[in-house]
Amino acid sequence: MIRKTLVTGIAAATALSAVPALAQNGQQAIEEIQVISTMRKSEGLADVNAAVSVLTEQELELIGHTHLQEALNRLPGVSIHRNNGQESLTAIRSPVLTGAGACGAFLVAENGIPVRSSGFCNVNEMFDTHSESAASVEVVRGPGSAFWGSNAVHGLINVVLPQAGDAGAITLEQGPRGSQRLKASIGHDYGNFKQLLLVNGVSEEGYRDNSGVDQQKVSWLYNYTTQSGATLDGGFTMINLNQETAGFVTGLDSFEDSDLRDTNPNPEAYRDSVNGRVWTTITQQVEDWELVMTPYFREVNMNFVQHFLPGQPVEDTEHRSIGFQFAAYKELSNGADLALGFDIEDTDGSLKQFQPNPTTGSFFIRNSIPQGRHYDYDVDARQMAGFVNYEQNLGSGWELSLGLRFENMKYFYDNKMLDGRTDEFGVACRFGCRYNRPADRDDGFSDLSPKLGLSYALNENHDLQLRVQRGFRAPQATELYRLQNDQTVADLESVELDSYELAIKGSGDNWNYSASWYYMDKENEIFTNSARENLNDNHTAHRGIEFAMGYDITDTLSVQGVFNLAKHTYENSQISGGIDIEGNDVDTAPNTFGNLRLQWQPTNSLLTEIELVNMGDYYTNPENTASYEGHDIINWRTQYQYSDDLTFSLNVLNVLDEEYAERADWTTFTDDRYFPGEPVRAFFGVTWNYR
């Protein structure tokens, strides 16, 4: 382990693979892009020593996404699978991960602040961001830098909101089946004080039965410069979601069945979520140091029917956090850049699971899952971390990057019910109750994440980069305390991932590209076995090649695209479905997927794009006996600026009306099951810029 830690600490910088929406004068366009996701302060994308991609404001406006998946899947290494409504499952250099703590492999943030506490993630947490009004969306592929800790294992998604200041725009959009959307930005510049209000609201009936969505988002941002020269940047975001949820349709290729694809076998399912964040970033120059301090408060509340479980219990979960991020930056006398800091967060969380109706199904199920309360517990969490980052130009085209983070996570668990494997009144089930409530306990996890990177400028247009680093995540609260069957204690360790990457990137006047090869070895992955025990019993390997490019064919015609070739495998011996799956592909892990776009801008006022979205085939079970054949979707988007005040847009998704599955899955109870993709649909919008 010590040798592996040392090797992991010899790392290097990575691939630049952001492709601007219109790549004309490509190198200049890249140099104009700023990112904050690598060092928690703005820096030029061309100078970033990380595998980071950026969706710019221009590209986001063209996409006009109804779900963040539509934007993120244009990036290398990213494959977001959409469930129903605003739900999603994430893959970044990984399979699509599922399970209680699988969301802990990805960190989702807004303006650099994680939208959920490290121990309280949710697989759908992308809907906690105000992405529809974002100035940019940044994705770091592979483990996060020293500035990010637990949960940035396979990657980081950071939604960056616009700067406060003068703004005045209203967008109205009409879509199919009563879909309507309103988006507005209203801002003023008063000199040393600026403010901006962002509003987004959507209401849609839903393609499938009883699958409507109503969602409202509001952000208020401000910027203030004090007489002493300190800069305050802050604001708040509040998001409300009320969703009727459609479940899987079952049966081989049922997503192609016209009588099934728009039905909803779970009309009783819903998801209600309310969350908000308040923050202020204070930047102050103190002699040679730039100090950046961000206190913040977060609250998350979610209530939904677990329609995918026997008995369909209702989960009600919430948590509130107070946190503080601190970083200090200095240029040393030798020209090197030094950054150091710390993060602290205090979280109070709770979870209740209640089944209002008697269990239906087999005799065994009815006598092992009781009606009433299953879980009711509180968890207090304390997260503390320190980090240091050092970057230096070594001369002759060489650059060095060193980073190290130490993090400690502690949980204080308090069970509000009777301990053990009974119903809420202490009565044992005939075949043993499925749900088991552990006794009060405390758990702690300490992790070290080193990184060392090298980059070499081959010439003015091409760079070679190498990186090795470690990512980690502490077990999530649900993995530790929402136990089943005979397990009374989950004796878990942190998940660790060692990442190795070699990349080359280049750009010129009308072209840019990047190519990356990566290998990642993940140990202590938390796995629920056939006895429903949560164990560190999974070891997987992840390797792949990512390619991104942009080229201006003419002054008016350009092409951009990404292609991904990946292999994700089980590396340890374990029995699933009666066979040893060592060496098998991890389920829901396509070997190939990508995106190709042709853009035409004949005048400054007209922009149109044809997009091909490719999803390769993949296995849907660990035994690799069931699979989904994949699909190709074509989208068409057009923007027309009629005047300085009015802009019209038309987005047509799934132009060829392909019958496909947003997500395919397989279980022993249902066999093949799917979330069907939506048929062809058009969204017409008009934007009034009144200032």
Residue pLDDT, tens place only, 193-204: 999 999 999 999
Site of tokens 């991932």: 497
Collapsing DSSP states into helix, strand and coil, what is residue 625? coil
What's the alpha-carbon Rg for the chain, to the nearest Å?
25
Residue 128 binned pLDDT confidence (cut-offs 50, 70, 90): very high
Tell me the mean pLDDT in the region 54-58. 94
Q: Is 389 exposed, middle or buried (0-12, 13-18, 19+ CB in 10 A)?
A: buried
CA distances from 572 to 241, 535, 585 (A): 41, 13, 12
Distance CA 129, CA 106 (A): 14
Q: What is the pLDDT of residue 555?
A: 94
Helix (H) / strand (E) element for 3: namely helix 2-8
Site of tokens 């102050």: 284
> Over 80: is that where the pLDDT of 687 sits?
yes
> Over 90: is that where the pLDDT of 432 sits?
yes
Q: CB of 30 within 8 A of CB of 17?
A: no
Query: Looking at domain 2-689, what is its CATH homologous superfamily?
Result: TonB-dependent receptor, beta-barrel domain (2.40.170.20)
Of residues 460, 349, 468, the one with CA closest to residue 397: 460
Distance CA 349, CA 300 (A): 9
Q: What is the pLDDT of residue 344?
A: 97
Distance CA 88, CA 98 (A): 10
Q: What is the DSSP letter of 262?
A: T
SS3 track for 109-151:
EECCEECCCCCCCCCCHHHHCCHHHCCEEEEEECCCCCCCCCC
Q: CB of 90 within 8 A of CB of 106?
A: yes
Distance CA 212, CA 682 (A): 17
Distance CA 170, CA 175 (A): 17
Q: What is the pLDDT of residues 316-368, one digit of tens each?
A: 999 999 999 999 999 999 999 999 999 999 999 999 999 999 999 999 999 99
Q: CB of 330 within 8 A of CB of 338?
A: yes
How many beta carbons lie within 10 A of that of residue 195, not counting itself? 19
Residue 655, CB-side half-sphere exposure with 13 Å CA sphere:
12
Report residue 60: phi and psi, to 5°. -65, -40
Tell me the mean pLDDT in the region 202-217. 95
Of residues 186, 190, 185, 183, the one with CA closest to residue 223: 190
Strands 193-204, 441-457: pairing kind = unpaired
As beta bridge partners, residue 486 has none
Name the amino acid, one letter, at 40: R
Q: What is the pLDDT of residue 5?
A: 33
Residue 103 binned pLDDT confidence (cut-offs 50, 70, 90): confident
Q: What is the pLDDT of residue 32?
A: 66
Q: What is the pLDDT of residues 1-48, one digit of tens each?
A: 333 333 333 232 223 333 333 333 333 455 567 777 677 777 766 666
Helix (H) / strand (E) element for 6: namely helix 2-8
Strands 106-110, 155-160: pairing kind = parallel
Q: CB of 369 within 8 A of CB of 357?
A: no
Distance CA 652, CA 635 (A): 6
Alpha-helix residue ranges (DSSP H) falling in 376-500: 477-481
Q: CB of 504 within 8 A of CB of 535?
A: no
Strands 167-174, 180-189: pairing kind = antiparallel
Helix (H) / strand (E) element for 384: namely strand 372-395
Triad 588, 593, 595: Cα angle to 5°: 140
Percent of the chain with pLDDT over 70: 94
Distance CA 436, CA 538 (A): 23
Name the amino acid, one letter, at 206: G
Report residue 104: phi and psi, to 5°. -70, -5
As beta bridge partners, residue 437 has 420
Q: CB of 194 within 8 A of CB of 201?
A: no
Q: What is the pLDDT of residue 100?
A: 75
Work out the mean pLDDT of the chain and round it to a whole number: 92
Report the sign of the C-alpha dihedral through residues 302, 158, 226, 194, in that order: negative
* Residue 134 CA from chain centroid, whole number: 15
* Residue 614 CA from chain centroid, whole number: 20
Distance CA 481, CA 614 (A): 39
Q: What is the pLDDT of residues 434-455, one digit of tens each?
A: 999 999 999 999 999 999 999 9
Residue 129 binned pLDDT confidence (cut-offs 50, 70, 90): very high
SS3 track for 290-316:
EEEEEEEEEEEEEEEECCCCCCCCEEE
Q: What is the pLDDT of residues 399-409, one digit of tens each?
A: 999 999 999 99
Q: What is the pLDDT of residues 367-420, one digit of tens each?
A: 999 999 999 999 999 999 999 999 999 999 999 999 999 999 999 999 999 999
Alpha-helix residue ranges (DSSP H) falling in 44-111: 57-63, 69-72
Q: CB of 110 within 8 A of CB of 129?
A: yes
Q: What is the pLDDT of residues 548-590, one digit of tens each?
A: 999 999 999 999 999 999 999 999 999 888 899 999 999 999 9
Q: Detail the DSSP E strand segments found in 193-333.
A: 193-204, 213-225, 231-244, 249-250, 270-286, 289-305, 314-331
Q: Which residues of 470-484 are buried (b: 16+ CB within 10 A; e: fewer)?
A: bbbbbbbbbbbbbbb
> Over 50: is that where the pLDDT of 467 sits?
yes
Report residue 122: phi and psi, to 5°. -145, 140
Q: CB of 53 within 8 A of CB of 584?
A: no
The encoded tokens of residue 384 equal 């503390």
Q: What is the pLDDT of residue 225?
A: 94
